[in-house]
Amino acid sequence: MRKIGVREIEDMAVGAAVLGTGGGGDPYVGKLMAIQAVKEYGEVTLLDPEEVPDEALIVPSSMMGAPTVSVEKIPNGEEPFRSFNALEKLLGQKIYATMSIEAGGVNSMIPIALAAKKGIPLVDADTMGRAFPELQMTTFNLNGIKGTPLSLCDEKGNTMSLHTINNKWTEKIARAVTVVMGGSAILADYAVTGAELKKAGVLGTATKCELIGKAIREAAVSKKNPVEAVLEVTGGVKLFHGKITDVARKTDGAFVHGRAALEGLGEDKGFYAEVCFQNENIVAKKDDAILATVPDLIILLDKETALPVTTESIKYGARVIMIGIPCDNQWRTPKGIETVGPRYFGYDIDYIPVEMRVQEAANK
């Protein structure tokens, strides 16, 4: 158990945007929301999952929608509170603590803001260990936990509740409502007991985000290579060094789909790379070879600062280092790969762990 305030939030926001793999929302917007909340209501207690009583009720709070939209349609701070309270009423039981559904610039910050306002602890865990675009893409789902009952709010004052037969239906219905509400909405869903959380969650994600952010911040001070610092703290591998030569991005109201093209620099001069995304980065290629695929994390970092480049902020000419980070082991099971592997996203590619792909390429 420890307190998190402005400094921790600053680091966490940066680290969460790294693990957000291009998606998860704008870290600047998220950070401002969380900082404002702790300034107004006081610092937030971060609980180690082991400190959560087995029978306690834990409910993640998150934003749903295309990041493209959320950059302009900023939550007003009331929606997480409203959706959370609506679900608490629906469950008829007091919620003990909140947590992140995923690591991401906004979705790691909303639970902090909510915890501050509501005066409850935040649990050091999430349900992905990264960001994914769809609602059934959680380790809770892999463990048979249902996302409903769910409450969803918009900033206008509309509230929807949902009970479904499975998490794919929850995704379909909540997504349609989010689109109608204007492209983003705030959720309270996947209520779990402390016991379920300890078994089915990805534990320690908030601290991991903080460590990544801290490594980047300290590298800037100590003149250490910041990308190397990120690789050290995440166990990641360098995939490509290049500059952005093209970006295609299309938002259908539900998701932002697109691809970024890179031209090699330095050791990768003469090579070309490509990253395809659906909110989050899905597949990376170097010429005809696959560099990495979901569920492993594919991340673009600014070459100089190692600050993460989100799907929304990819710009022509930017110098970036593409890195890969092995995903949580729960995603490397057959059910995990079926749920979030490359084939789910429409790519006819086998999932091979990123570290094996890198090893293979080095042996050629």
- Tokens 């070459």 locate to 303
Determine phi and psi for 47, rounding to 5 degrees: -100, 135
Are 322 and 298 contacting, i.e. CB atoms less than 8 angstroms apart? yes
Supply the minimum distance, in Å, between the C-beta of residue 82 and a second copy: 10
Cα angle 174-128-322, degrees, rounded to a multiple of 5: 110
Site string for a second copy, 287-326 (x = CB under 8 A): ----------------------------------------
Query: What is the Cα gyration radius of the chain?
Result: 19
Stretch of 18-26, 174-182, 219-227, 242-250 lying at the interface with a second copy (CB under 8 A): 174-182
Using CB under 8 A, which of 28, 169, 272, 347 touches a second copy? Answer: 169
By CB under 8 A, residue 93 contacts a second copy? no
By CB under 8 A, residue 347 contacts a second copy? no
By CB under 8 A, residue 162 contacts a second copy? yes
Based on CB atoms, which residue is closest to a second copy, 65 or 258? 65
Q: Which residues contact 50 (CB under 8 A, 6 or more apart)?
A: 198
Cα angle 317-320-321, degrees, rounded to a multiple of 5: 155
Using CB under 8 A, which of 120, 179, 197, 212 touches a second copy? Answer: 179
Using CB under 8 A, which of 32, 74, 91, 173 touches a second copy? Answer: 173
Strands 237-251 and 297-302: unpaired
Q: How far is Cα of residue 289 from the mean position of the Cα atoms in its chain?
A: 26
Q: How many residues bind a second copy (CB under 8 A)?
A: 19
By CB under 8 A, residue 180 contacts a second copy? yes
Stretch of 24-32, 179-187, 202-210, 219-227 lying at the interface with a second copy (CB under 8 A): 179-187
Supply the minimum distance, in Å, between the C-beta of residue 159 and a second copy: 5
- Tokens 């539900």 locate to 254
Are 135 and 174 contacting, i.e. CB atoms less than 8 angstroms apart? yes
Q: Residue 335, Cβ neighbours under 10 Å: how many? A: 13
Using CB under 8 A, which of 181, 211, 291, 309 touches a second copy? Answer: 181
Are 238 and 321 contacting, i.e. CB atoms less than 8 angstroms apart? yes
Using CB under 8 A, which of 40, 54, 144, 176 touches a second copy? Answer: 176
- Tokens 């490397």 locate to 332
Are 327 and 131 contacting, i.e. CB atoms less than 8 angstroms apart? no
Q: Which amino acid is at 338?
A: E
Based on CB atoms, which residue is closest to a second copy, 66 or 244? 66
Using CB under 8 A, which of 14, 125, 160, 327 touches a second copy? Answer: 160
Supply the minimum distance, in Å, between the C-beta of residue 136 and a second copy: 14
Using CB under 8 A, which of 159, 193, 245, 251 touches a second copy? Answer: 159
Diameter of the chain measured on Cα atoms: 61
Tokens coding 111: 């639970």
Based on CB atoms, which residue is closest to a second copy, 254 or 323? 254
Whole-angstrom distance, CA of residue 267 vs CA of residue 362:
14
By CB under 8 A, residue 6 contacts a second copy? no
Whole-angstrom distance, CA of residue 154 vs CA of residue 14:
26
Whole-angstrom distance, CA of residue 181 vs CA of residue 86:
18
Supply the minimum distance, in Å, between the C-beta of residue 23 and a second copy: 22
Supply the minimum distance, in Å, between the C-beta of residue 76 and a second copy: 14
By CB under 8 A, residue 92 contacts a second copy? no
Using CB under 8 A, which of 161, 225, 245, 251 touches a second copy? Answer: 161
Site of interaction with a second copy (CB under 8 A): 156-165, 169, 172-173, 175-177, 179-181
